């Protein structure tokens, strides 16, 4: 009687399994790579549509550049292409205000090809409109791990069916030949036998799974940094809807830094006490939340005096800009005359403060390209600059980018 694992057949299943695995793995990652590479390296300056960010929108770009080979050279080192006297290169360089594109000499041919393929055929573009709050419409891509697990599950079922079939065929054959029936081992015993006979396959398989896990981990790290919709719980249930909405308290009453400094700031507990010495009860949370203010201020409402030490309230920061970026509230609120809501949404309707905008570079730059500088005309500090710009751009609206608002050094230290 032969042993239960008939080598050639098992090997066939293993090979089939691997073909499947490799195929699905490389297929899903090739399709995603171009998109990922583009978003990581190019999207700060290029859209896949027609709108310009720093560089031109790349819709239909493969039709206007001299050739795909030209594009490969350009992406690796555009300065070299321009220096070589290339006509098209010189032309777009001049058209884009002599802003030099970043260089990507590290890219392999297939990586650039993946980017080009993605640019040729991108999904419908989500344009970041600076004034309207963007709602998150990003679709979660399918995790390659999920695909692998799905395939594994299907294969286990197929193998189980094949095993059963083989077993009954074998028994039928044995019966015809007059040999006794074959003992059936448990599937687990079978699997162990198979594993010990295929150490290399098992090792390879393990490596695949580990790589998959690694990629999933890496992907989740990548999305750190963009927090549209971030809405942390706060130590006191402070409601903008009640204060700025129902009671129409001016934003700058509490965020007094917004008009005179880089940061808007969060009010100290003393500011709360200006009103809450007298207001100990709210319409929604009664006395519970306001009692926390008293606790932080060291206020004893029964005696009507401060008789305990103050403890600052540990508010959780909602907006966190990368610390290599310079941003000033005063510049935007006073000179730029930008409403708080343009960047923060309508807090008058929010019970819990929430980040409404992505705070990415493309978001800043998009607004700079569309927004005029309204406070410039009547601001003596800008008078001569404004005159010069008005002459230079002959009646065109003077948007922030025209006065240098998309120069790298304006935002990056
Ligand atoms: C720092 C901004 C920046 C980054 C990042 C950037 N580019 Fe550019 N790109 C430009 C600018 C600006 C131009 C216009 C030409 C010039 O001024 O040099 C340009 C031009 C191009 C062109 C020619 C466009 C046309 O209309 O003919 C292509 C293609 C291109 N970039 C591809 C890419 C790809 C692919 C990446 C990512 C790997 C990338 N760029 C990253 C700024 C950038
Ligand atoms: C009565 C005081 C008060 C008023 C009025 C007020 N806020 Fe606030 N604001 C706070 C406090 C306290 C916090 C911190 C707790 C929180 O995030 O909800 C805060 C948080 C914020 C945040 C999130 C800050 C972060 O951590 O990133 C923004 C944005 C904001 N306020 C904007 C506004 C705007 C815009 C208005 C006017 C429509 C306004 N606030 C009116 C007290 C106030
Ligand atoms: C042009 C966009 C823009 C406008 C207009 C704007 N903010 Fe902000 N705000 C930001 C950004 C970006 C941050 C994150 C800053 C950081 O993390 O350094 C922020 C942070 C804040 C914070 C958190 C504390 C701080 O200062 O970092 C508060 C509070 C705030 N803004 C309130 C306001 C109020 C009130 C107004 C209107 C008077 C306003 N903002 C107008 C973009 C804006
Ligand atoms: C300019 C006056 C003013 C300031 C300053 C002020 N509040 Fe209030 N607060 C009010 C008013 C008015 C109410 C609503 C009372 C009512 O409707 O009965 C209120 C209600 C509340 C409530 C109860 C809301 C509910 O859900 O029932 C809390 C909690 C609260 N405030 C927290 C704070 C905190 C924290 C600060 C400081 C960051 C602060 N307030 C600063 C005027 C103020
Ligand atoms: C809602 C539109 C809007 C958004 C969003 C915006 N800005 Fe601005 N920004 C302006 C306007 C308008 C001015 C012109 C006011 C001025 O010159 O002070 C300006 C000016 C600036 C300046 C001064 C430029 C110069 O030439 O002096 C800097 C720096 C700046 N913004 C940084 C940022 C950063 C960083 C972000 C993103 C985190 C951002 N801005 C997002 C509208 C915006
Ligand atoms: C109007 C402001 C502004 C200008 C101008 C600007 N940046 Fe940025 N940049 C930002 C902000 C904001 C971020 C942070 C984005 C984030 O955290 O997602 C950023 C991030 C970056 C990063 C990190 C990569 C990333 O996407 O997080 C690089 C690299 C960069 N900028 C390069 C440049 C170069 C090169 C220029 C000049 C062509 C430039 N920036 C001009 C605001 C600006």
Domain ranges of the chain: 7-23+143-222, 240-411
- Report the nearest atom of ligand 1 relative to the CA of 98: 17
122 with 60: CB under 8 angstroms? Answer: no
- Report the nearest atom of ligand 2 relative to the CA of 239: 18
Q: Give the pLDDT mean for 34-56.
A: 80
Distance CA 43, CA 365 (A): 12
241 with 348: CB under 8 angstroms? Answer: yes
Which token pair is 30?
């090739």
End-to-end CA distance of the chain: 78
Distance CA 84, CA 217 (A): 43
Asked if the model's pLDDT at residue 354 lies above 80, the reply is yes
This model's pTM is above 0.75: no
- What does pLDDT average to over the chain? 81
- The per-residue pLDDT for range 2-20, each reduced to its tens digit, is 444 444 455 555 555 554 4
pLDDT band (50, 70, 90) for residue 156? confident
- The per-residue pLDDT for range 285-298, each reduced to its tens digit, is 999 999 999 999 99
What is the model's pLDDT at position 236?
95
Nearest CA to ligand 1 atom 14: 55
What is the model's pLDDT at position 266?
95
- The per-residue pLDDT for range 289-332, each reduced to its tens digit, is 999 999 999 999 888 889 999 998 999 999 989 889 999 999 99
- Top pLDDT among 68 and 25 is at 68
- Top pLDDT among 130 and 177 is at 177
385 Cβ below 6 A of ligand 5: no
Q: Give the pLDDT mean for 385-397.
A: 78
Q: Give the pLDDT mean for 224-242.
A: 84
Task: Quote the radius of gyration of the chain (alpha carbons, Å).
Answer: 32
Asked if the model's pLDDT at residue 127 lies above 80, the reply is no
User: What residue ranges line ligand 3, CB within 6 angstroms?
Assistant: 251-252, 255, 258, 263-266, 319-321, 327, 329, 332-333, 338, 340, 342-344, 359
Lowest mean pLDDT among 96-100, 271-275, 340-344: 96-100
């Amino acid at each position: 009687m032969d042993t239960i694992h008939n080598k050639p057949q098992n090997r066939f299943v293993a090979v089939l399994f691997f073909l499947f695995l490799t195929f699905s793995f490389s297929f899903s990652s090739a399709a995603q790579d171009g998109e990922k590479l583009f978003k990581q390296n190019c999207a700060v300056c290029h859209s896949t549509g027609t709108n310009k960010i720093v560089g031109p929108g790349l819709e239909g770009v493969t039709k206007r550049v001299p050739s795909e080979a030209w594009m490969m050279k350009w992406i690796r080192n555009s300065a070299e292409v321009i220096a070589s006297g290339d006509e098209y290169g010189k032309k777009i360089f001049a058209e884009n205000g002599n802003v030099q594109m970043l260089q990507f000499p590290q890219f392999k041919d297939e990586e650039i090809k993946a980017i080009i393929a993605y640019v040729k055929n991108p999904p419908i573009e989500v344009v970041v409109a600076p004034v309207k709050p963007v709602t998150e419409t990003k679709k979660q891509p399918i995790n390659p791990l999920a695909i692998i697990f799905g395939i594994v599950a299907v294969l286990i079922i197929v193998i189980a069916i094949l095993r059963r079939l083989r077993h009954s065929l074998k028994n039928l054959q044995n019966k015809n030949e007059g040999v006794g029936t074959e003992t059936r081992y448990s599937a687990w015993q079978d699997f162990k036998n198979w594993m010990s006979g295929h150490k290399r396959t098992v090792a390879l398989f393990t490596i695949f799974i580990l790589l998959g896990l690694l990629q999933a981990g890496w992907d989740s790290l990548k999305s750190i940094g963009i927090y549209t919709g971030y809405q942390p719980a706060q130590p006191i249930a402070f409601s903008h809807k009640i204060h700025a909405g129902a009671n129409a308290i001016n934003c700058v009453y509490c965020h007094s830094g917004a008009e005179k400094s880089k940061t808007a700031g969060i009010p100290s507990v003393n500011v709360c006490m200006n009103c809450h010495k007298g207001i100990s009860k709210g319409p929604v949370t009664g006395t519970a939340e306001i009692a926390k203010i008293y606790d932080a201020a060291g206020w004893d409402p029964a005696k009507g005096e401060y008789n305990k030490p103050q403890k600052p309230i540990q508010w959780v920061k909602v907006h966190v800009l990368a610390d290599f970026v310079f941003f000033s509230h005063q510049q935007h609120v006073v000179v730029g005359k930008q409403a708080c809501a343009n960047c923060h949404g309508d807090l008058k309707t929010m019970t819990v403060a929430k980040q409404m905008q992505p705070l990415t570079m493309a978001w800043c730059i998009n607004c700079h390209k569309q927004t005029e500088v309204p406070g410039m005309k009547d601001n003596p500090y800008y008078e001569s600059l404004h005159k010069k710009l008005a002459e230079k751009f002959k009646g065109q609206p003077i948007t922030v980018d025209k006065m240098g608002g998309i120069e790298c050094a304006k935002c990056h230290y």
